[in-house]
Amino acid sequence: MADVAKLAGVSAVTVSRALRHPRMVSAALRHRVDAAVSELAYVPDVAASRLASARTHTIGVIVSSLTNGVFADYLRAVHDTLLPAGFQVVVFSSRYSLTEEENVIATLIGQHPEAILIAGIDQTPHARRLLERSGVPVVQTFELTDDPIDINVGLSQRQGGYEATRFLIAGGHRRIGYIAARLDARAHARMAGYNRAMEEAKLPTDGLVATTPRPSSVSAGGELIGTILDRDAELEALFCCDDNLALGALFECQRRGIAVPDRISIVGFNDLEFAACAHPPITSVATPRYEMGRLASEIVMKIIETGERPDNPRIDVGFAIRERGSTRAIPQPRARRALSE
């Protein structure tokens, strides 16, 4: 660091500040320090820095998958918020395994992060104990719980499934199917919402649900709607646990010559970018994943810097149904005939 300071013509303290908290120095100073760092190929000694400051400046993030596009906006928000503030983000994947999540949590805590963000609320009792005793802020995201470990920023997956199904029911559909893959806790919550809406409307679900423990994919969506259609040719609408499945269901309908939405309406979940670009564009439950990651990051930064915690440890970011061309309302007389049949 002394070599960098000498080449940049500043003090070592200024170099340290420019590297750890770039916003605290002028753009001109940052440029001089960055140029010196680049010329000297300087890499800070993280271990020495941690010993000197008793801080790691590291935030741990645990998500269910590094390949599922659902987490892309969330992780982008975390990096966009934390990196400019001088924090480093360490990302782990639990690969949808509660046992692996336990191991990841133990590994992460051993690296002394200053906060932990974790996707999901269904940690095992041992994982909860590890997080509760970690001594750092913990934010559970992507789902809501009445019993958060520390802080909870998410949305009701169950309510999202319920409202998506109610949307189809309100459009006059009666034979409404549901497809899901992988069957993690969030998929089960959305299915519970579907079942609740169908039960309240006194509509049948027998033969209208198809699931697979395999990972979600476009091909799985095609296979699952095919399973339902082979059992029930009168299917009027389909709620898909995620947008990958919805796209696959749309492709399978097109392959079979089934018009969407004239014959079958399709609703997805998460509102990934491609949903709006499909033909027809897919109606989907939009989840504010970027906002969720930003809020979670801002909360832990405030706790670390000031000790101030949010007044409400449970923050609902909500969701919205983005209605597009894959759904249509059925005229009510047709809906009544379907019921009588």
The mean pLDDT value of the chain amounts to 92
| DSSP single-letter state for residue 225 | H
pLDDT < 70 positions in the chain:
45-54, 332-341
Q: What pLDDT was estimated at residue 28? A: 87
Cα(328)–Cα(282) distance, integer angstroms: 11
Q: What pLDDT was estimated at residue 47? A: 52
Identify how many contiguous H helices and E strands the chain contains and give both numbers.
Answer: 14, 12
Sheet holding 265-270, edge to edge: 209-212, 176-181, 237-240, 265-270, 283-286, 320-322
Q: What pLDDT was estimated at residue 336? A: 39
| DSSP single-letter state for residue 195 | H
Q: What pLDDT was estimated at residue 191? A: 98
Q: What pLDDT was estimated at residue 39? A: 85
SS3 102: helix
SS3 266: strand
Q: What pLDDT was estimated at residue 55? A: 76
Q: What is the pTM of this model?
A: 0.83
As a residue count, the chain comes to 341
Q: What pLDDT was estimated at residue 186? A: 96
Q: What pLDDT was estimated at residue 48? A: 55
Give tens-digit pLDDT for 38-92.
888 888 765 555 544 457 899 999 999 999 999 999 999 999 999 999 999 999 9
Residue pair 206/144 in contact by the 8 Å Cβ criterion: no
**Partners of 321 in the β-ladder:** 285
Q: What pLDDT was estimated at residue 338? A: 38
User: Can you list the domains of the chain with their CATH numbers?
Assistant: 2-44 (no CATH), 56-155+289-310 (3.40.50.2300), 157-286+322-340 (3.40.50.2300)
Q: What pLDDT was estimated at residue 45? A: 65
Write phi, then psi, for 185 (nearest 5 degrees): -60, -35
Q: Which of 252, 254, 259 is nearest to 218 (CA)?
A: 252
